[in-house]
Chain A
Amino acid sequence: MAAGRAAKVTPYPEPSVAPPPPVPTPDRVASLTIVAVAVLALAMAWILPWWVMKARAPQYGQRTLLILVGPRTVDGDVRELDMLGHYVGIRPLGTLARVERTLAPLGLFGAAAGLLLAPWLRRRALRLLVVLPVLLMPFLLLVDLKLWMDHAVNDRDPTASLNLTVTRINPKLFGEYEVGQFKVATELGGGFYVGAVAGLLGLGLVFATPLRPRRFGAAALAGAGLALLAAPPHATAAELTAAPGGIAQALAAAREGDTVIVPAGVYAEHLVLDRPLRLVGRPGAVIDGGGEGTVVRVTAPGVELRGLTIRGSGISYTTEDAGIRIEHAAGVRVSDVRLEDVLFGFFVAQGDGCVIERSTVIGKDLPHVRRGDGIRLWYSAGCRLAGNRIERSRDVIIWYSAGTVVEDNVVTTSRYGLHYMYSNDNVFRRNRFEDNQVGAAIMYSRGIELSENAFSFSNGPAAYGLLLKDADDVFIAGNRFLRNATGLFFDGAPQSRGGRVDVHDNLIARGDVGVALQPLSRGIRFWDNAFIGNRTQVQVLGTGSAEDNAWAVDGRGNYWSDALVYDRDGDGVSEVPYRAESTYEVLADRYPTLAFFDGTPGAEAIDTAARLFPIFAPRPKLVDPHPLARPPLSAWTRSEDAGGAGAGLVVAGVALLATAAFVAVGARKALA
């Protein structure tokens, strides 16, 4: 095994004996000790909780629920609290203060850098300025926490299953209070105190005599600063390189936080990552399971996998053979990985907060029924699936997983592009589902945003672009539904009183059926959609009527390619309501072979004749009071693939360059 450890970087200079000082005498040892202790305190504070909430309720018996809040994390019984919160409409804790938690490492870095810098600065005001971050950090955290707490408990989801009888809850930062059956006690944690100590020490530095930077000291300081700036978060961890065929060996030798590099080559191995490690493949690195079992198992939190090709899982459903299985491991990140010839691609069970990005899954060359899922998330909250490509698999299936973000994925030639059950508060953006049997099926879930996706060419025996069953608060905007047997199928959506389903700015075109409604689907709002050339624009199943749904909102209906348009005032909205009622359709429902006459004079003759001689009363289906004269532009453009992201990057790049140029010019002027 060819492994070598990188030397550790020492971020600050060793204390050395100073010469007899002039007056005022800077005490080098004292100052540097203060700095060291303060930085150490800061580091400890990073690990310890800053604020602790203890909650007890009868149903938990002797157990106390603990929530531990730090600058970067919310730990403890988060899942329980989220589950309870979910019933009354409080959002998952993990979704709160994302920005602050992301910025926290930067804040800590600033605070530490300030402490390190402070003894060397000659002016007191400057010293005060650099220790300000460490001084303020604890208080900022508390203020922010208080704000978020107020927000979380009071800005509740109004459509939650239970309504709290109190409208306003006043959570306390300190002390005890009661909410419902819960007795809650809150207190400051060790992190706060240690952090405060660091702050006070920093204050001490402000009033201490500054040290005289010597050349050596300055160089070391500059070096340390640069190293800190340049080093990635795992800079202190070692990097190992796997020998040919010996990834497992390298993993065994690695310590927590280490990185194992896999050079190009084919490794016939099955791996278990049971400690927080990084496994990074160089181009051409392939792990081959040889058609047996699961190739890579991740059982430790925080594992990262990058740049590998993993292939050749087994085909057993009993053992659920997968390319990568993540189990009981939170915060796992997989990037730029390619899975080939696998039964299941990613099998994630209880892997909260996992990230799967820019990866590819190509399933086994088996009939649909014998394939596994491209990605399966089971009971894993707060995951992110982004920029992946799934081919020839069964489903991308998300079960019992709240707070998932699915964006910029492409799923083709699979069964359900997305199969989604009992999972709330999820976002799907800019995905493409093509040539699958069902584009996406969303069942028994609430709080779903579907925007700018494309659902096209669904071709199974029950070929829906999007199937919604028993779902609430679903917002479907700017998607394209193209050439599906049925574009959108609604059953029991919305299902709850006050539940909302909004469908707007979508293009629904060239399907056998544009929108199909089961009678339990009531209260859906459709506006600004373009229904173009569907054989049946809206189909009503059973004995229901589409009239229980809104076909126009705020004076804007939908564009219907078969509508008679008369827009006298030129406001883009036709003055002639669009009515859908077709005898031919009633007949065709009954005799599918009549489809043969589609669009022919024969079909029109039947409709005309039926109006003259109503043998069967034509079934009135819906009235759009304000049909649009032209298809809304948004429906055509918003879901264009990828273009948006690219343009965004270009704009950002130009803006950056411009800023840089501006700064450079300004600086030159100032120097001159």
Chain B
Amino acid sequence: MTKSRGILIATVVAVGVALIVSGPRRPGAVATSEAAATGNPVDDIIQQRGLTPDEAEAALKTFVPPGKYDDFVMLTSGGHRGTIMLYGIPSMRLLKEVPVYAPDAWQGWGQGETGSAEVLKKGSFGDGLPTQTWGDLHHPQISLTNGKYDGEWVIGTDKSAGRVAIISMRDFKTKSIYKIPNATSDHHGVFTDDSEYIIVSSFFPMPFNEPKGYAPLEDYKTKYKGSVSFLKFDRKAGRIVPDESFQLELPPYFQDLSIAGRGPSDGLFFINSMNVEMATGGDLEGKPPMEIGASQREMDYLHVIDWKKAVEVAKDPARTKVVNGMKVIGLPTIVAEKLMWFVPESKSPHGVDLVPGGEYVVVSGKLDPHVSVYSVEKIKKAIADNNVEGKDDFGVPILKYDACMEAHIETGLGPLHSVFDNQGNGYTSHFLDSTVVKWTLGPPYNPPDKAWKVVDRVSVHYNIGHLQAPGSNTRKPWGKYVVALNKWSVDRFPPLGPLHPQNLQLIDVSGPKMKLLSDTPAIGEPHNSMIIPVEMLQAWTTYPETGWDAIAMQKSAVATLQGKEAITRNGNSVTVNGTVVRSHYTPDIVRVKEGDRVVFNWTNVETARDATHGFGLHGYNVNLSIDPGATETAEIVASRAGVYPYYCTEFCSALHMEFTGWLLVEPRK
């Protein structure tokens, strides 16, 4: 098919060329699009811009006409920018950035607004440590219903601090940040098939059982533990329910990416691990440096956890302990109750991915040029038959490698992550080769003779990390596109200083050959993303009721309607219940005394789309973004006397420049 088409193209080109070379030019004689300009404006543009036919085709495929929407929206992490970015596909236009772990002045997130400040504070370590105003958000995950995206919630775990942020897809605002006890670094967290739990593995093992959470590194093997948290998700409220959550105590390996089963793998949970050597570094102390120590052995262990059974065990207080307020099933109990098995996996794996139907687990160790495919059926059989080849130091049984293995596909150098389309194909990113490789899945997706074969390969630019496809790693993939999230852009963008943007490359995978369509510079350090069809978005265009508390997702207790505005004083405390509407604040004069505590509750009483107003307060480091219908609160202590104008920071109307007010702080004698 491909070959014949290629030959066809070649023949057409050759014939076309022959015609041009041989005869006088006859307009209209050349039918191919690759011919010279014929006066056709499109061809002229192509020629003027020096585009190749592929480039012209890519331009047409990615162009979204004015006023029309993209087909998909990609939610991409901002890495240590602590945000989630929304891009449209295929245009790759940046649509929005959602602040999560770091303050954002535009959206008033953590910028003097009390609700968001409280979210950031609650989501910090506490215990005398400062409020954390950054986070390292790697892998956004969309909530699932029946194993499919439901467009309701997004979570983003924090690799820097062991936290989970929950963002509503109704308004794309962060609702809560939960600091997980006994977890210090959460590289990755996922929803179960029906979003019953958010399961988060902790990357760095910690001595969390020890007094004050401390033990010397010399006691690493005995006192440090890994953990995986099963956080009960109240999907209505969009909150984690700590009382119904629990953890498994794990050996001190680095538990990394994970995936919850579905279909035949329903009830199982898979986690990649690293550093089963339990190396702790010590390069200046005469020991092998960390990364050397962690790459001594041949294999790491894929953790296979019977999580539904773990839920039952966790209900029994006799079989759990409470550590730092969290219910924990200890490692000996895990072994005794047969809650976990290991399967050897290639060293230092990155991705653990599950095919749409849940039949195969796909792992790639970056040092092995193969993608390893494990059969869930075989893993279950090995468990049932107790087909083990040993135990680790902690007594966890290790299933026989060959008994669980379905296929090895030699794809290229440095394979990292795999995604799936709706045509029975997998796509794997290759960091060393800088390629995306397409390969076929086995039965039931393809007949055995067409199974597990590499079918195509495309170069990407450069050093790809993750890649993503619409609905991959769910029951319902949509295919069509793959986005390569490249770590380095090197020379793909004009020189803009030594910090280069990363490069998001859109690849068309709808045909038999993958086609690279476009380069898009990324803001921050994107790691992974989720791609959802635009029609699945159910976001509000304005808040459903006037006086909405965006964090609590309900009507605010301090909502103010027009005509009810008031300034009330109670001792040294002044409360301003005001409204904003084009183009004025009510009240537009607030008089207080030096040292007063002043609370501003502003309600945007507009119902028009896009009529967001700001509250930028000079001197007190406050900027609110008050969306139509929202009530936002800022609290200050008027510690310094003076005159402080406030004004609307979001251009809204013809009289926007006049949209101002005065805070008068009268000196005390």
Contacts and interface: CB of A to CB of B under 8 A. Distances in A.
B413 A609 contact: no
Interface string A580-605: 00000011001111101100001001
B490 A594 contact: no
B295 interface: yes
Q: Across chains A and B, which 10 residue pairs bring their CB atoms closest together, nearest first?
A: A593-B6, A369-B408, A609-B17, A317-B299, A400-B292, A317-B298, A591-B6, A320-B298, A462-B412, A542-B461
Contacts of A613: 17, 20, 36
Contact of A369 (B35, B296, B410, B434): B410
A379 interface: yes
Contacts of B401: 316-318
B10 A318 contact: no
B45 to A, nearest CB: 14
B14 A605 contact: yes
A616 interface: yes
Given A422-B292, A543-B491, A612 B412 contact: no
A519 B17 CA distance: 32
Contacts of B13: 587, 606
B491 A544 contact: yes
21 contacts: A60-B284, A79-B286, A317-B344, A318-B389, A318-B390, A369-B368, A415-B369, A437-B410, A441-B413, A460-B410, A461-B412, A462-B412, A469-B432, A491-B432, A520-B462, A586-B52, A593-B3, A609-B21, A612-B20, A613-B36, A615-B35
B17 A605 contact: yes
Interface in B405-443: 408, 410-413, 432-434
A518 interface: yes
A542 B462 contact: yes
A461 B34 CA distance: 32
Given A318-B390, A318-B398, A461-B454, A602 B297 contact: no
A144 interface: no
A550 B284 CA distance: 40
A345 to B, nearest CB: 13
B10 A597 contact: yes
Given A596-B10, A615-B35, 17 more contacts: A316-B390, A318-B299, A318-B390, A369-B410, A379-B292, A437-B369, A438-B413, A461-B412, A462-B369, A462-B413, A542-B434, A542-B461, A542-B490, A586-B52, A593-B2, A593-B10, A608-B21
Nearest to A319: B390
A439 interface: no
Interface string B267-291: 0000000000000000110101000
B370 A369 contact: yes
A615 B296 contact: no
A591 B10 contact: yes
A462 B369 CA distance: 9
B459 interface: yes
Contacts of B432: 443, 469, 491
A443 B413 CA distance: 12
> Contact residue range for chain A?
35 or more
B14 A461 contact: no
B9 interface: yes
A372 interface: yes
A443 B7 CA distance: 39
Nearest to B410: A461
A615 B36 contact: yes
Contacts of A316: 389-390, 401
A349 B432 CA distance: 25
A59 interface: yes
A6 interface: no
B276 to A, nearest CB: 9
A467 interface: yes
B492 interface: yes
Interface of B: 2-3, 5-7, 9-10, 13-14, 17-18, 20-21, 34-36, 50, 52, 54, 283-284, 286, 288, 292, 295-299, 344, 368-370, 389-390, 398, 401-402, 408, 410-413, 432-434, 454, 459, 461-462, 490-492
A77 B410 contact: no
A606 B491 CA distance: 30
A379 B289 CA distance: 10
Contacts of B408: 367, 369-370
A255 interface: no
A399 B490 CA distance: 28
A368 interface: yes
A172 to B, nearest CB: 25
A541 interface: yes
Given A80-B286, A318-B344, A320-B298, A605 B18 contact: yes
Contacts of B370: 369
B619 to A, nearest CB: 45
Nearest to B4: A593
Contacts of A460: 369, 410
A83 interface: yes
A467 to B, nearest CB: 7
B336 to A, nearest CB: 22
Task: Identify the interface centre among B13, B370, B390, B408: most chain A CB within 10 Å of its CB.
Answer: B13
B410 A467 contact: no
A606 B412 CA distance: 32
A543 B286 contact: no
Nearest to B408: A369
Given A520-B462, A593-B7, A467 B284 contact: no
Given A320-B298, A613-B36, A80 B292 contact: no
Contacts of B50: 617
A490 interface: no
A633 to B, nearest CB: 35
A605 to B, nearest CB: 7
Interface in A346-374: 349-350, 367-370, 372
